[in-house]
Homo-oligomer: A and B are copies of this chain.
Amino acid sequence: MATRSTIMDTNSFRAEHAAALDEQTRTLTEKRARLLGDSYRLFYRNPVHLVRGEQQYLWDAQGNKYLDVYNNVASIGHCHPAVIDAVQQQMSQLNTHTRYLHERILDYTESLLKYVPGEVSKAMYMCTGSEANDLAIRVARAWSGGTGIIVTREAYHGTSELTSGASPALGSGQPLAATTRLVPAPDRYRVDTPDIGAWFAAQIQEQIDDMAAHGIKFAGLLVDSIFSSDGVLPGPAGYLKPALDVVHRNGGIFIADEVQPGFARTGESFWGFARHDIVPDVITMGKPMGNGIPVSAMLAKPEVLAAFSDTIPYFNTFGGNPVSIAAAQAVLKVIEDEKLQQHSLTVGTQLQQELAALAAQHDCVGDVRGAGLFIGFELVTDKASKNPDKQRALDVIERLREDHVLTSVAGPHGNVLKLRPTLAFQAHDIDWLVGSLDKALRAGR
């Protein structure tokens, strides 16, 4: 098994960097260290102090303009007026909870369900992706009568006790639950197999068997279908079908964690799982759903959800409130009106081509892969050895930051640039990103 790295901890500000900061930044970082819990991590040795955002751009306190190539929360663009207006309007009318009737939650659910397979026909709403995944695991357990959950080796699924125990990306400080089993992610760059789908399914079966040997009944597979934290591994469309089959054969459910790939980002499809033409039993979503307003959801097959909801009450005070739902409605409408899925495919493909051309010029770029505007750019010591080069990745991230391009890293070795711009990213932004990346790579280690 690969060493569990702490992707949450890479490339971040540390106290020893403070001396090099300008005065305002230093004051803020010191105040932050004093007032906030030490779990908080700042990106970059020289943290960015942002004050304004618009579309794909951000501005810092000095007026410098940044290209946001990382934040999939403000997915339809920072400060999108449609979301501001929707929130403003609903806030002025009413904000209350789901124990009274309100049209918005029903209208939105009807709209949202049009984007998923017909078998998945029930919705529940929360505030964060963590809450959606926490509930999804509980549903898997209620449905299966088991407790065992399988995730990939570098997966991140949330901050709650239950989801943290199924998030190896948090590193060795956070113990995994005794009922969690890990499978390697389907990494076609590093796994040499003619059939990645069959290979991945076999890994899952092996862990289900190991659970059984420990007296743990299998409950389900929880996967981000683009394997973002594992290094952004879209893989060939369709290859997750055998994984779904093996899960079902063993009495578990397939939970598609769409917190990262969902809402049109992958271009080819509206969801990550949809690239594989499979029907998950449960679908969770969050981050981009309200463009920054906290809202998340869990969609499920009714018979699967019933096993939970027939016995366990669930009420989320803010979940599904009219204001959060108004934001979510606006996001969905903008994705439709601005044809952002097609846009993500078109611009994403163009960006991937430019990145591939750049990779051809640099022996330290091992692989470029992606779906739409969700791209992994893997740095290695050299193409022949494929040895992961984490230090170079960190250096590149810092150099990009100095060129005002914001992104970060992923993967078990922390050597994959995770390029995940807002869907407002345009073809004319490619030069800035690729040019800065070229410069950063040429600067060497």
Q: List the B side residues contacting A29 at CB < 8 Å.
A: 101
B127/A53 in contact, CB under 8 A: no
- Hey, which chain B residues are within 8 Å of A40, CB to CB? 98, 124, 314-315
A242 within 8 A of B: no
The complex places the Cα of A38 from the Cα of B99 at a distance, in Å, of 12
Candidates B9, B100, B102, B315; contact of A313 at CB < 8 Å? B9
Task: Give the residue of B41, B47, B103, B286 whose beta carbon is less than 8 angstroms from that of A315.
Answer: B41
1/0 contact string of A132-149 vs chain B (CB within 8 Å): 001101100000000000
Most buried by B among A35, A71, A171, A174: A35
Kindly state whether residue A3 has any CB partner on chain B within 8 Å: no
Q: Which of A79, A134, A162 has the most CB of B within 10 A?
A: A134
User: How many identical subunits does the complex contain?
Assistant: 2
**Is the pair B173, A312 in contact by a Cβ cutoff of 8 Å?**
yes
- Interface assignment of A398: CB less than 8 Å from any CB of chain B: no
Residues of B within 8 A of A430 (CB): none
Residues A93 and B49 in contact, CB atoms below 8 Å apart: no
Assess A39 versus B100: contact at CB under 8 Å? Given A83-B91, A92-B84, A160-B160: no
Given A37-B122, A38-B306, A161-B138, are A106 and B31 also a contact pair (CB < 8 Å)?
Answer: yes
List chain B residues, Cβ under 8 A from A92: 79, 84
Whether the pair A315, B39 counts as a contact (CB closer than 8 A) is yes
Q: Tell me the nearest residue of chain B to A99, going by C-beta.
A: B43
For A87, list chain B residues within 8 Å (CB): 87-88, 91
Cα separation A164 to B314 with both chains bound (whole Å): 9
Contact A170 B312 (CB under 8 A): yes
6 contacts between A and B (CB under 8 A): A8-B313, A37-B309, A47-B100, A79-B95, A128-B131, A170-B313
